Structure 1
Amino acid sequence: MKWRRKDPISAAAAAQARAVESAARVEQAKHDIELRRLQVAADREAARERQADEEADAERQAGKDEKAREKRREKLRNRLAALRPVAPLIVVNGVAVYGQVQFAYHDISHESWSPLAKLGLAVAFATAVESISVYVGWHAHDSLLLKDYAGAARLRRYSYLIAMVVAGINYWHFAGEDFFGLAPTPAALTFGLLSGLSPWLWGLHTRRAQRVQLIAESPTLIDEAGAEFSRERRRAFPLRTYQARRWSIDHGIRDPRKAWEGYNAERRRARAQRPAGRIRVAATILRGKPVNLGPAWTDVDDATRNLCDGIRLDAQAARANVRRHIDAGLGFENPMVRIKPTGPIRVNATQPQPTREPLPAAERAALPAPPVPAEPTGEPAQVRTDEPSGNRLMGWLKGRSRSAHKSAHEPSGEPAQVTHETAQVAAYEPTREPIAEPTSTAHEPAQPVTRESAQPARREPVRAASKPSRKTITEPVEPDSKTSTADRCAAAFPDLVKTLGKRPSGTQLAEKAHVSPAAAKRWLASRKEQ
């Protein structure tokens, strides 16, 4: 076999091949360097991420540990807060338990028992006895927070009773030999007092817890104590500060300045409206200032006299009203409500003068004579009557009647002045019908009714023998004439039937006709027989 010989490579081709190979190796080296650089950067980034993750994990773990520690601290604070209010109670009950242990060890356990048995019985007895009052107090505490106020109060009383019994046992055990074995000693007083203080301490804690509960529900449920004033103001104005505090409590004001200003304004207003006293009037006169004194009960101004000139009094109804209220011990109504104006009375801005009609001369002559004036005594004008001197209301009524009579006989030529009193009288609207004329029956002739016959007889004062200081008024004296009694009953009967809508009783007819109940019943019986 014959080998073929290759063609010889030229030097230029060899050099070119070596150059290409060298360039390839350089590129490979560059690629390896870049790859290593990227790998190092990736490793570095991964390390940073691992470190960040580790730090985040450590931070999260630290947060969890801190939360756990905070929870443990909060739990401890809550336990201390729950223990703080009852710590004094626990201490007091613990000392009281020692007294019960002493009592059970020396007085309850048998002498033949071993000391360990005596101690066990004493501890069990003391714990049971002191727990009774605490248990009842706890139920009272729970009931009050649940708004069972009646149940809480009842349980609180029971806890006090039990505590007093236990305190008595402690006192009796440690008391001295004197005074029947009840002589006070320091130990008896101390242990007895500590046993009795247990429910009171429970009550303090319960009331505070209830107040906190009410504030959390609504602040308006708390009764505020009013304004608090400074110590300087209390020292400078002790009485006024006390009154201002009372005023602030009454009006629900807690601002001290508003309470002080409001009380002083009300005080000045009350003093301005208060009637003037003798000392104040005298001091005002001595200072040369005008004094405005209010009118007396018996003073009547000219305007009232002129206005009464045109007014007719329903004397029967007025005296019946007065008798009914005086007998009932309630005084009497204003007599002006029984006034019967004979003409229209108007008072307005365009017509300031009241218009009225004077009574006819015959009716003026029929009016009763005025009472005899009393002798001057330096006091406000009075009118002498047969009534007891203490009955000022009746005196005032008779003073009004006297003013009306004087105005009727001596009419004033001056125009009447419109005052507050005359405006009240002018604004009156009559509600009663005029007195009806009596009707005659078949067996009794009708008698004319005059103004004098329509008025009942004047009452005479009667003093009770058993109570001289009490003043009473007898029933009006009825005329002996049988005809006048029947006439009055006959005159009142139609009005009562019309008012009541039925047949009146004897008492109602007697009150209306101003006769005795027996006479009214006889008249009704005679009418029924007819």
Structure 2
Amino acid sequence: MKLLTRSPKLTPADLAELRRIELATQIEHARQADQLHREQAAADRAARRQADREADRAERKRRKAAAKAKARRIATLRRYAETARYVAPLLLVNTAAVGAQTGYAFSRTPASWPVLARVAVALVYAATVESISLYVNWHSHDALMQGATGTAAEMRRRAYVIAAVVGAMNYSHFDGEDWTPTPFAVGTGMASLLSPWLWGLHTRRQQHQQLLRRDLVDETGAVFDRKRRKAFPIRTWRSARWSIEHNELDPKRAWDGYHADRAARRAAAPAGRIRAAWRALRGAAPAQPEPVEPEPAPPAPLSLDDPEVLAIAKAKLDIAAARERILPSAIRYGIADRDPARFADLTAGGIWDLVAATDEPAHVRWPVPVRVATAAEPEPAPRPAAQIPTPEPEPRRSWWPPSRQPRLRSLRRARRPAAREPSRTGRRLDVDRLAAEYSRLTRELRRRPTGHELGSAAGCSKAAANRWMREHRVSTSAGPAR
């Protein structure tokens, strides 16, 4: 039934609204398509740039690898060229010797043999004969590079003997009648004879380079100029000997050192060495000059730039500071150890009395004011000495086993001087002075004085005044009369 119903009729406003919505949808679709196109283009450009970078990186790696390979090839060729520069002359000499031996062997093979067989036999013969001395010389080279100089010298001598025999054989192939020398015979014989010696030159060069790498080359002393050698041949030769003996490489210092040594020898024998030797043979040797003691060299000035000197100076300063800090305490500990009763009296009388009993300078001691008693101030009655408590010294702790302590105590009593009765005069005067000043200040201030006021008036420390007031707080608890 709904299909047969008619759709509602749209008004112009509804049609306009639908048209607007359709246009907005198309615009949005176009904007999104354009944005997608731009993003795709940006992604394509980024991909192309990444591909280009990868291609450039691969190209750089390829070029670098090619450059390294080329450098290795060039280094190899240079190494071969350098080796060929030293080995090529030796190979030419050996080739000449082997060629001469091959020609002689080819002429001695049967003519009925094929040419290739004759050439092969001749080459084997020549290579065998010429390689004997070279093989022995190679063992000499290996021994010298391993440091076995004795074995190297023995092998080298054997190689020279074998080369001389082979050289004589090569010479005999091409000489004239009755060993008459010919240029070809002399050349081929010398090639076979000098082959081990030429290879020995190469061996010595290799050994010298090995010593240079190990820094073990033995220097041959100073090298002088040709003009100096020509002008002073004997003195130059002796200066060179002096430089070798004293390991001196500088020509100037070697020349001066030799002449100083020469002057010292002449001073020891003023009449000449020959006359001095003749006198020594006759038993009339001249008196030897008295040896002159060299003057001691002045000490080098010390400088704080030297780390060792700076460390010693700092250590001295630290020791001095530590000594200043612990010296008063050490003196007090010494007093307490020698006379505990006197240490207790000094401690009870105040810290400044203890300082005055030590070796402290006078400018650090507490000044004691002198007071004169007046008629208005009656003299306080002295307190009996029995009221002054004397602290018992603490027994010293011993680390020795109990079995040995009685014997140690007896030895200490035998070594300790006779004990003396402690003097309580200073203690009595301090107590009387504190009592008198306390009474005076109480009357004047009409209150209980502080420790600082009482100590300043009595000429003692604040701690001593406070201690005295604590000990006599029972008698002063009533306070002054108002």
Return the offset for 1:198: 0.4
SS at match of 1:252: coil
Instruction: Report if aligned partners of 2:159, 2:196 keep a CA contact under 8 Å in 1.
Output: yes
> Which residue does 1:165 correspond to in 2?
165
> Which residue does 1:229 correspond to in 2?
224
Q: Which runs of 4+ in 1 moved over 6 A?
A: none
How far apart in 2 are the matches of 1:225 and 1:176?
A: 48
Return the offset for 1:132: 1.0
SS at match of 1:47: helix
Matched ranges for 1:75-474 at <5 A? 75-106=76-107, 108-110=108-110, 112-177=112-177, 181-217=178-214, 219=215, 221-276=216-271
How far apart in 2 are the matches of 1:149 and 1:104?
A: 37
Q: 1:25–1:196: structure 2 CA closer, same or farther, 3 Å change rule?
A: same
Instruction: Report if aligned partners of 2:266, 2:272 keep a CA contact under 8 Å in 1.
Output: no
One-letter code aligned to 1:152: A
Structure 2's unaligned 5+ residue stretches are: 292-482
Matched ranges for 1:493-512 at <5 A? none
Return the offset for 1:85: 2.6
One-letter code aligned to 1:264: H
Return the offset for 1:5: 4.1
Q: 1:162–1:275: structure 2 CA closer, same or farther, 3 Å change rule?
A: same
How far apart in 2 are the matches of 1:158 and 1:277?
A: 51
How far apart in 2 are the matches of 1:242 and 1:182?
A: 45
How far apart in 2 are the matches of 1:6 and 1:49?
A: 59
> Which residue does 2:75 correspond to in 1?
74
* Greater Cα shift, 12-21 or 40-49: 12-21
Q: 1:168–1:55: structure 2 CA closer, same or farther, 3 Å change rule?
A: same
How far apart in 1 are the matches of 2:32 and 2:24?
A: 12
How far apart in 2 are the matches of 1:5 and 1:120?
A: 120
Instruction: Report if aligned partners of 2:134, 2:195 keep a CA contact under 8 Å in 1.
Output: yes
When normalised by structure 2's length, the TM-score is 0.54
Structure 1's unaligned 5+ residue stretches are: 281-293, 298-330, 332-390, 397-418, 422-530
> Which residue does 1:304 correspond to in 2?
none
Return the offset for 1:273: 2.4
The one-character-per-residue Cα deviations of 1:321-369 (angstroms, maximum 9, x if unpaired) are: xxxxxxxxxx9xxxxxxxxxxxxxxxxxxxxxxxxxxxxxxxxxxxxxx
Q: Does 1:62 align with 2:57?
A: no
One-letter code aligned to 1:251: H
How far apart in 2 are the matches of 1:140 and 1:277?
A: 51
Q: 1:198–1:14: structure 2 CA closer, same or farther, 3 Å change rule?
A: same
Return the offset for 1:71: 2.6
When normalised by structure 1's length, the TM-score is 0.50
How far apart in 2 are the matches of 1:420 and 1:233?
A: 37
How far apart in 2 are the matches of 1:113 and 1:231?
A: 64
One-letter code aligned to 2:190: L
How far apart in 2 are the matches of 1:114 and 1:5?
A: 124
SS at match of 1:247: helix
How far apart in 2 are the matches of 1:11 and 1:118?
A: 123
Return the offset for 1:122: 1.7
SS at match of 1:276: coil
Q: How many residues align?
A: 285
One-letter code aligned to 1:23: A
How far apart in 2 are the matches of 1:190 and 1:241?
A: 41
One-letter code aligned to 2:100: G
How far apart in 2 are the matches of 1:85 and 1:277?
A: 54
Return the offset for 1:197: 0.6
Return the offset for 1:185: 1.1
One-letter code aligned to 1:143: A
